[in-house]
Every structure is written in structure tokens, then in C-alpha cells.
Amino acid sequence: MALLDLCGAPRGQRGDWAVPLAGSRQRSDPGHYSFSPRSPELALPRGMQPTDFFRSLGGNGESNVQIEMAHGTTTLAFKFQHGEIVAVGSRAPAGNYIYTLKVNKVIEINPHLHGTMSGCAADCQYWERLLAKECRLHYLRNGERVSVSAASKLLSHMMCQYRSMGLSMGSMICGWDQKGPGLYYVDHNGTRLSGSMFSTGSGNSHAYGVMDSGKRRDLSIEEAYDLGRRAIVHATHRDSYSGGVVNMYHMKEDDWVKVESTDVSDLMHQYREASQ
């Protein structure tokens, strides 16, 4: 409706009957990313404000229904001379109850890009899968794989559009692109940081302690595996919300390798015996 565009809609909102504005076709355009609450993937009821709804349910004791976001995990990633190590715990706690010990907290976006998840499990899974879809579309449209900085930027934009609506996500986007290895931390506020070492989740301070004391640029591959393993194990030992198994991945230039999936209690016993 070119005339409608030219004259502007009459006062008030456009009626439901109105054909979408020509400009709104931008949503399917490459290069025009819109992840707003009005996107077709989300079926929000009309007139619903997510922020108010959430506030009414949050823990101020007034309402009978309380939705408590489940947080709890340890994830880490670091760069070294032979690539990147990504290591995550696998416990999914909900308050004091453990849902499962076998969650996979690393999403494989493509053979050269991984995303870790910490915070609200639902948020992480949904948004990172959406990111995987955007990465795939980018590859199909442009003939080359999306760079790590672009992928993390897209995720950060998604988070920015939902700022203060109660999302909870701390993720690391790790991969290898034409500029070399890339590691970015993205969280639900839209923060996006590039670095060579990150750890997220409730056990992250413990993991940082172990990694800081052991990390060097010139680690050998086995030493790097050991460092990642130890950091997760010690974090799960001290943090009650983390546990399960250590899922460790090694990102290399051509491919990634799943190094192991070892139970943390077994590892803790090994370390104990070794030190005695």
C-alpha cells in the first residue's frame, strides 16, 4: 500500500486487517535482523507486556505462583596455542532439586562454532538454537561461514532487544574463522566481550581460580585438557549447584573434537589419591 505509506496511517494503531507495511518485509531481508517480541516465531498474546508479567510472578511473596529461574552450572573456555578448550558441567538444578545430570550445555552451531549455556536453561537453548538458524542462513546467503564475531554480535543483539524482560543467559561463543580462533562472552544484558579465557555460572569463581593458576599460552594439548578438567572438577566440588560430568571439547582449525565426558566424582577421587 504505497499510498498508505505516503500519507501515514490514521491516528491510532493500524488495524489487524491492514496488510503489513512494505517496510516490514525487511524481516525476511538478509541483513535486517529483528528479534523483537513481535517476531513471528513468538506467539505472544495481544497486549501482553512481558516485563510486568514477570514482575508479578517474581519472589516478592505476594502471589501464589512463584516462578524461580533455575541457575547453576559451571562452564569455561580458554584459548591456547593449539586452539580452544571448552569445558562444561552437566548438572541441571532447579533450586535444591537436581533435574538431571546429563544436560548438554554446549550447542554445536556448526563444525566451527560452539555456544555454551549457563543461566536459565530454556533461554539458553532457545536463543542459541535461533542463533544456529541465523548462522546457517548467513552461510546460505553469503557463501561463507559466519565469523565468530558476527555470530556473537547477533546473539548480543537478540539479548539487547529483550533487555530487562527477565532473560537469564551467560554464554560463550567459541569458534574458528578466517581471523583465527575467536572467543566471546555474551550475556542476557547484551554484554559482549572478547577474551582469551572466560568462565560462567555459579561455579565460575572456583573455575577462574584454578585456570588462573595454571593457564599459560604454551600449554600442550594434554596439559590444556588437564587444566579444563581440573577447573570444572574443583568448581563442581565446591559449588553445590554444579556437578555431573565434565563435557570437554577442543576447537581446532579444521574441526572440533569431543575430548571426553567424565564423571566429576571419579575425577575428584583420582586427584585425592594422587595427592596422598
Partner 1 sequence: MASRYDRAITVFSPDGHLFQVEYAQEAVKKGSTAVGIRGTNIVVLGVEKKSVAKLQDERTVRKICALDDHVCMAFAGLTADARVVINKARVECQSHKLTVEDPVTVEYITRFIATLKQKYTQSNGRRPFGISALIVGFDDDGIPRLYQTDPSGTYHAWKANAIGRSAKTVREFLEKNYTEDAIAHDNEAIKLAIRALLEVVQSGGKNIELAIIRRNQPLKMFSAKEIELQVNEIEKEKEEAEKKKSKKTT
Distance CA 55, CA 76 (A): 31
- Asked if residue 233 lies in contact with residue 271, where contact means CB atoms within 8 angstroms, the answer is yes
Who contacts 198 (Cβ-Cβ below 8 Å, separation ≥6)?
A: 76, 77, 78, 172, 183, 185
By the rule CB under 8 A, 142 interacts with partner 1:
yes
Q: For partner 1, give the closer residue by CB, 21 or 257.
A: 21
3-state secondary structure 133-201: HHHHHHHHHHCCCCCHHHHHHHHHHHHHHCCCCCCCEEEEEEEEECCEEEEEEEECCCCEEECCEEEEC
From the list 73, 74, 75, 116, the catalytic residue is 73
The least CB distance from residue 150 to partner 1, in Å, is: 4
154 touches partner 1 (CB under 8 A)? yes
For residue 154, with 0-12 CB atoms within 10 Å meaning exposed, 13-18 middle and 19 or more buried, which class applies?
Answer: buried
Q: Is 181 in the site for partner 1 (CB under 8 A)?
A: no
73 is catalytic: yes
In the bound state with partner 1, the residue whose beta carbon lies nearer, of 153 and 237, is 153
**Which residues face 261 on adjacent strands?**
247
β-bridge partners, 87: 76, 248
CA torsion sign for 96, 102, 107, 113 is: positive
CA 144 to CA 231: how far, in whole Å? 35
Q: Is 7 in the site for partner 1 (CB under 8 A)?
A: no
Give 33 or 54: the residue with its C-beta nearer to partner 1: 33
> Is residue 210 a contact point for partner 1 (CB under 8 A)?
no
CA distance 259 to 229: 10
Q: Does 3 bind partner 1 (CB under 8 A)?
A: yes
Among 71, 153, 237, 252, binds partner 1 (CB under 8 A): 153
Residue 160 touching partner 1 (CB under 8 A): no
Q: Measured from the CB atom, is 88 or 155 closer to partner 1?
A: 155
Q: Does 191 bind partner 1 (CB under 8 A)?
A: no
d(CA 188, CA 265): 31
80 vs 127, which CB is nearer to partner 1?
Answer: 127
| Per rule CB under 8 A, count of chain residues that contact partner 1 | 19
Interface region with partner 1, contact rule CB under 8 A, candidates 47-55, 76-84, 147-155, 229-237: 147-155
DSSP state of 58: S
Contacts of 11 (CB under 8 A, 6+ apart): none
Asked if 161 interacts with partner 1 (CB under 8 A), we say: no
Instruction: Compute the least distance from the CB of residue 221 to partner 1, in Å.
Output: 30
The smaller minimum CB distance to partner 1, of residues 153 and 238, is found at 153
Q: Is 165 in the site for partner 1 (CB under 8 A)?
A: no
Residue numbers at the binding site for partner 1 (CB under 8 A): 1-3, 22, 25, 29-33, 142, 146-147, 149-150, 153-154, 157, 178
Please give the positions annotated as active site: 73
